[in-house]
Amino acid sequence: MKPLLAVISIVVVLLFFAIAGPWLLVYWGLSFQEDPPLPKYTYGEFPFYAKYQVDGKTMTIEDTVIVKYDGVGLSEGTEKFIKWKQTLASGNEEVVLLKDGDSIRIILSVREINYHLEDNVLSEDYGIPVIQKEEKSGKSIISRLASIEDLDKYKLRMIEFKYGEPIRN
């Protein structure tokens, strides 16, 4: 019985190292790389204004995306990188334009935009945020870009979107 247990233990250890070993070596190698330099700006606030219509009713949203330096991350695909934490000043997690019951939300993705803090540049041209549709299906959430048909179905139309002057450090 003891020889069988020893063989099984050796096979398990070998399988572990065969599967996890390459990833451990990649992580170990990347962890010794030099950290990227600390960005010039470690904090930024990006106020924005959105005006839109849902079913003929005009609505506005004014909020601010707050971007803070959050240390250095490690990824086998991009090596070491600067991490950013993005929140909304309102305390909301997302900018929800429309809710259809508990299963469908149309969201304005303002927190996914590159705010150029890492490049030591604060540009007023951050791009236009995308409109996403989230659908709950059981325990999973499917998120995708909202289609023209989605926007037409809910009679949702973006009228205006603009950023205010950024506030940094």
Q: In the chain, what are the domain boundaries?
A: 43-168
Has this prediction a pTM greater than 0.85?
no
Place of tokens 């609505």: 59
User: What digits encode the pLDDT tens for the residues 13-22?
Assistant: 888 888 887 7
CA distances from 54 to 45, 100, 149, 156 (A): 28, 12, 14, 5
DSSP 8-state assignment for residue 125: -
Beta strand pairing status for 167-168 and 140-145?
unpaired
Angle at 116 between CA 115 and CA 117, to 5 degrees: 95
* Whole-number Å distance between alpha carbons of 148 and 52: 15
User: What digits encode the pLDDT tens for the residues 119-145?
Assistant: 545 455 556 677 888 888 777 878 777
Higher pLDDT pick, 51 / 33 = 51
User: What digits encode the pLDDT tens for the residues 72-99?
Assistant: 888 767 788 888 888 899 999 888 888 8
